[in-house]
Structure 1
Amino acid sequence: MRMTKWILGFALIITSNLVSTVQALPTLIHNVKGYTFADGELVEFDSLLFENDTVIAYGSHDELAKQAKASISIDGKGATLLPGLTDAHGHVLGLGLNLMRVDLRGIDSLEQTLQTIEDYAKANTELRWIQGRGWNQVLWAKKEFPTKQMLDRFISERPVWLSRIDGHAGWANSKALELAGITKDTADPAGGKIIKDEQGEPTGVLIDAAMELVENQIPELNQMERRTALELAFDHMLKLGITSVHDAGVDFDTYKLMLEMAKQQQIPVRLYGMLSGSDPRLETMLKLGKVELPFLKFRSVKLYSDGALGSRGAALLAPYSDDPDNKGLLLTTEKKLAEDLNLITQYGFQANVHAIGDAANRLVLDAFAKLPEEQSANVLRHRIEHAQVVALDDIPRFAELNIIASMQPTHATSDMNMAGDRLGNERLKGAYAWRKMREHNVLIAAGSDFPVELANPFLGIHAAVTRQNSENQPEGGWLPGEKLDRAETMKAFTIDAAYSAFWEDEVGSLEASKKADFILVDKDVFTVEAEQLDDVQVLQTWVGGKRLN
């Protein structure tokens, strides 16, 4: 009975008209340095005219003022106006939870990491679990994985669980290991690894599927916590100029909540959700069909093929250069991937598959190649998420199969301090290879993978153009031959990202009849020194003709 009521509610959501019918005078924003893409080409303008939530035209102030004599006029004061930015790969609930928990990102010493955890635990004595994310042992002096003993010294009565920055490894104290039943006799689960010391004792670090042993012990979020996390994430994105986001893996409970929030017009950014392929209720969500609402779409599924490079979980064709007995982990077998793709595509859903290592990328490309035409990327616009390390022979296959490369520029600048060690010079030729992808006419949808990386899209724009981190290092850029130019980069964060979510007819550019989603920023991204691109500040964010920041 409860499921029947929920499905009826779902039907009401689908048929509801969530677009306001209140009419208003057209709005003319002038005195701006405006940019958009039209038919794939970059164009400039100084004024934008829109009515309610829809663009009427862009062009010169004189022309548009004549076109709309009675209008609300806003002086842009010389700011740069851009289409609203899309983050084509983020984790919205994860971002919100990250804003609620201890943040260890970017801390470059083990000592300071531990101090930050201790301070958070002391300030949040009511929490049953101490949770956080962002530690990265590569930034520490010894570059070694941490241990449970380091946490036990100051947190022994409450369980502690801290995800590595890439989300593919976790760090637990002894209490958390005890609750999970992890001892020296516990075997590695399929697709995961329990790191053990020389005596065979678990150290406290768990890789990929082994993380679930601890995570399954953490109390589930209640509805209020889940809603609060989403609201925090939405507010954070709007401040950064993100008007559209592709959520890479939405579980059933979050799916239901997002539908309810959309019904109540409480989702302020355009959210393209990928259903979580690991959710046991995936087929239930698929059977309910595609969701096509003004601010919420569900018509894709997120799958995993391997782990991450930093934790040596990415699946490689040959062993790691710095770990000759290890080729990483395939999280999905060839048979299981084929079964998953067949299920997803039979319902007409797009498949977006996480693949980081060259073996994983080849596995996914091979699987996509075997799909019949009506289930292929030619129809359903399938994507490979990350496409970080690709064998050179496989790069042209993305275009041949019409596979979208959903890539995150800041991954390159975050990983450059260890990628060479992991891969060696020869494999680096196909790593983070944005220029090679574009030379083969592969469409790139750009994102951040927040909260793995910071959500600020201008950090990604800077990384794509300079191949440098926020300190503008290394000089000249890391593997500088893979740089993108500014127009290519902005397309990847706007119109091309919109295409990868079947949203190109409504957002991604400011052409007539599209939604009035745009931002005002303090620097001209096409003329400012490239080193300053990550310093761009968002002044205003408009979604559907309404200023939300």
Structure 2
Amino acid sequence: MPHAEWVFHSGAVFDGRRLVRGASAVAVSDGRVLAVGSDADLRALAGPSTQTFDLAGRLISPGFTDAHVHAAYAGVERLGCDLAEVSGAQACLDRIAEYAALPAPAHDDAGWLTGGGWYKGDFPGGYPSRAVLDAVVPHRPAYLLNRDHHSAWVNSRALELAGINASTPDPADGRIERDADCQPSGILHEGAMDLIARLLPPVTDGLLETGILLAQEHLFSVGVIGWQEAILGSYGGYPDVSAAYRSLSSSGKLKARATGALWVPRDTTVDSVPALVESFRTRRAENAAAGFSTRSAKIMVDGVPENLTAAMLDPYLKPCACAGPDSAGGRGLLYLSPEVLHTAATALDAAGFDLHLHVIGDRAVRTGLDAIAAARAANRGSTGGHPADPRHHMAHLQIIHPADVGRFAALNVTVNAQALWACNDDQMRDLTVPLLGAERAAWQYPFADLEASGATLAMGSDWPVSSPDPWQAIHVAVNRTHPDHPGAAALQPEQALTLQSALAAYTGGSAWLNRAPGGTLVSGAPADLAVHSANPFEVPPPELSAVGVDLAMVAGEPVYVRDAAAGGTASRRQRTSA
């Protein structure tokens, strides 16, 4: 055999599914894994120019793949009024005041203050008022997305510019939060965000490219070497980021194994589905020609429970007092009717797209499973571009009725889990559980039951909704407690995953879901790998969040090497979800 370019030795090897018994070394050459074996087995592959890396007992594994992330949004928000790293209401307001004191962009006549990342758990009731924002930004219009990107916080000046007042009706796909007098409080949920987002200065392709590269750098630092951009379309004030990805891919600046999901708008109708699918075919081909794969179609089936938009089978315990007539009887929103969802799912499945469904509430889960079942029934045996192995998946999956757990394996629907949320934190305790009640709260994030039923598992972060550091999510998947809340009771501890299952989901499982070429450490596989700061299989479970990444490699090229002097970890803060 030829000499290796790299030999990693004296450690433990995880191949994307399990620890490899007897293996302690990995050899890499020409961008691929040359061999996996013992130190003695691979010693002969080391030549005069081979770079050797002493693992010193650490674990080497495939690099992480994030199956649901908003890298472009995360990067751009880091360039603006970034609130993701601050903790507490006062710190949040102080950061906004600092940013408001800076000159407004020269091209923005209105002087908009934009950014995001504020955390619902920092404010009583989850949603601060316009008056609180007015106190720090009285004259400039302000539009700040919260961390889950399902709500925006705006001040009085922004509401005035948009003409939003007490008589403004809620849009079909959203809700205007209102105070005790039913006046707009300053919080816009879901589609209501567009009432102001349409007034914002445009986000340019150049800014998006800068944001994606900034996000890539950070993701590499936590061992994420590939991801799926979960929305390619207009959403929350952002344009379609496809052009930026195509440019970066063509130029070679996008080094990660990045893929994307084309966004199905929430105003889609049965009649508009054929044109939508044809446009997706065209966009898929255009992106592929630039080296950017977009084989997934993203459908947001519902919202989130904290703003009463997650779709529930039974009503919320605390309905909104100022909401208009609710045809769902206080059970949240389905953004596409079952008829439209079934039609779109069937047509996209037939066209060879992997469905990527955002589902949070138990009614959304059931409706989404029904749509995939209808697509499979309609397209079974079809040859019109329908792939032999459709990789449909559902992201978030917070509340699943026990009767639906077994349907994932039966329908071959992958569980795309954001495991960092499966814990009792302040948001869960103060905002979520009071709306759900004890019985439904016990149905949250049933990872172990899904795995036991035969479902395939993948994982993602939903960054910037929550930390992109996979070891934070793996910690919660294994312990069902958050590392920042060690004293809190575990959330349904019987639903914990083993470390092997969680690590496999975040490496091999997500890479498979993304149709990425890596995700495994076997001879001939792409050398997309990560060296971790310890062997986590020898770390006590309550200390898993302390594990980090010392080196990340894509196609045999190091893309991140930890600076021991720098230290530090990514923010662990949360939460649900886009």
* 1:148-297 alignment, distance < 5 Å: 148-251=130-233, 253-278=240-265, 283-289=278-284, 296-297=292-293
Structure 1 CA distance for aligned equivalents of residues 548 and 126 of structure 2: 36
Structure 2 CA distance for aligned equivalents of residues 133 and 282 of structure 1: 32
SS in 2 for 1:468: coil
The alpha-carbon deviation at position 311 of structure 1 amounts to 1.9
Pairing partner for 1:416 from 428, 431, 434: 428
Look up the match of 2:369.
Answer: 365
Look up the match of 2:542.
Answer: 531
Structure 1 CA distance for aligned equivalents of residues 448 and 71 of structure 2: 29
**1:200-223, CA deviations, whole angstroms, 9 ceiling, x for partnerless residues?**
321111111111111111121112
| Paired residues, number | 522
Look up the match of 2:117.
Answer: 134
Structure 2 CA distance for aligned equivalents of residues 121 and 400 of structure 1: 53
Pairing partner for 2:41 from 55, 63, 79: 63
Residue identity in the other structure for 2:468: A
- Could you tell which deviates more after superposition, 312-321 or 59-68? 59-68
- Could you tell which deviates more after superposition, 398-407 or 79-88? 79-88
Pairing partner for 1:511 from 522, 536, 559: 522
Structure 2 CA distance for aligned equivalents of residues 48 and 326 of structure 1: 56
Unaligned 5+ segments in structure 2 are 234-238, 269-275, 321-328, 561-578
The alpha-carbon deviation at position 98 of structure 1 amounts to 2.2
Look up the match of 2:565.
Answer: none
Look up the match of 1:96.
Answer: 75
Look up the match of 1:21.
Answer: none
CA contact (8 A) 1:468 1:478 kept: yes
**1:259-292, CA deviations, whole angstroms, 9 ceiling, x for partnerless residues?**
2221211111101211112299774242354555
Change over 3 Å in CA distance of 1:66–1:292 after alignment to 2: farther
**1:166-204, CA deviations, whole angstroms, 9 ceiling, x for partnerless residues?**
111111011211222212111110021111223332111
Q: What is the percentage of aligned positions where both structures have the same residue?
A: 27
2:290 is the alignment partner of 1:323:
no
Look up the match of 2:99.
Answer: 120
Residue identity in the other structure for 1:331: Y
SS in 1 for 2:9: strand
2:477 is the alignment partner of 1:464:
yes
Change over 3 Å in CA distance of 1:36–1:144 after alignment to 2: closer
Structure 1 CA distance for aligned equivalents of residues 28 and 87 of structure 2: 47
**1:420-460, CA deviations, whole angstroms, 9 ceiling, x for partnerless residues?**
22222211232111111111111111111100001111111
Structure 1 CA distance for aligned equivalents of residues 364 and 207 of structure 2: 35
Structure 2 CA distance for aligned equivalents of residues 309 and 435 of structure 1: 23
Structure 1 CA distance for aligned equivalents of residues 146 and 390 of structure 2: 33
Look up the match of 1:12.
Answer: none
Look up the match of 1:72.
Answer: 50
The TM-score, its normalising length taken from structure 2, stands at 0.85
CA contact (8 A) 1:275 1:298 kept: yes
Look up the match of 1:304.
Answer: 300
The alpha-carbon deviation at position 295 of structure 1 amounts to 6.6
Look up the match of 1:52.
Answer: 30
The alpha-carbon deviation at position 319 of structure 1 amounts to 1.1
The alpha-carbon deviation at position 490 of structure 1 amounts to 0.5
Look up the match of 1:6.
Answer: none
SS in 1 for 2:148: coil
2:9 is the alignment partner of 1:31:
yes
2:379 is the alignment partner of 1:402:
no
The alpha-carbon deviation at position 29 of structure 1 amounts to 2.1
Look up the match of 2:466.
Answer: 453
CA contact (8 A) 1:51 1:545 kept: yes
Change over 3 Å in CA distance of 1:145–1:288 after alignment to 2: closer
Residue identity in the other structure for 1:179: L
- Could you tell which deviates more after superposition, 206-215 or 427-436? 427-436
SS in 1 for 2:477: helix
- Could you tell which deviates more after superposition, 208-217 or 424-433? 424-433
The alpha-carbon deviation at position 61 of structure 1 amounts to 2.1
Structure 2 CA distance for aligned equivalents of residues 211 and 48 of structure 1: 50
The TM-score, its normalising length taken from structure 1, stands at 0.89
CA contact (8 A) 1:26 1:70 kept: no
Unaligned 5+ segments in structure 1 are 1-23
Structure 1 CA distance for aligned equivalents of residues 503 and 551 of structure 2: 18
Structure 2 CA distance for aligned equivalents of residues 525 and 47 of structure 1: 17
Residue identity in the other structure for 2:403: D
Change over 3 Å in CA distance of 1:166–1:289 after alignment to 2: closer
**1:393-444, CA deviations, whole angstroms, 9 ceiling, x for partnerless residues?**
0110111100111110112235532432222221123211111111111111
Residue identity in the other structure for 1:84: G
CA contact (8 A) 2:277 2:351 kept: no
Residue identity in the other structure for 1:116: R
CA contact (8 A) 2:205 2:241 kept: no
CA contact (8 A) 1:48 1:59 kept: yes
Look up the match of 2:570.
Answer: none
Structure 2 CA distance for aligned equivalents of residues 148 and 288 of structure 1: 40
2:46 is the alignment partner of 1:42:
no
The alpha-carbon deviation at position 144 of structure 1 amounts to 4.9
What's the C-alpha RMSD, in Å, of the aligned pairs? Answer: 2.4
Structure 2 CA distance for aligned equivalents of residues 160 and 406 of structure 1: 34
CA contact (8 A) 1:191 1:329 kept: yes
Structure 1 CA distance for aligned equivalents of residues 130 and 70 of structure 2: 27
Change over 3 Å in CA distance of 1:25–1:129 after alignment to 2: farther
Change over 3 Å in CA distance of 1:138–1:257 after alignment to 2: closer
Change over 3 Å in CA distance of 1:322–1:29 after alignment to 2: farther
Structure 2 CA distance for aligned equivalents of residues 378 and 473 of structure 1: 45
* 1:374-385 alignment, distance < 5 Å: 374=381, 379-385=389-395
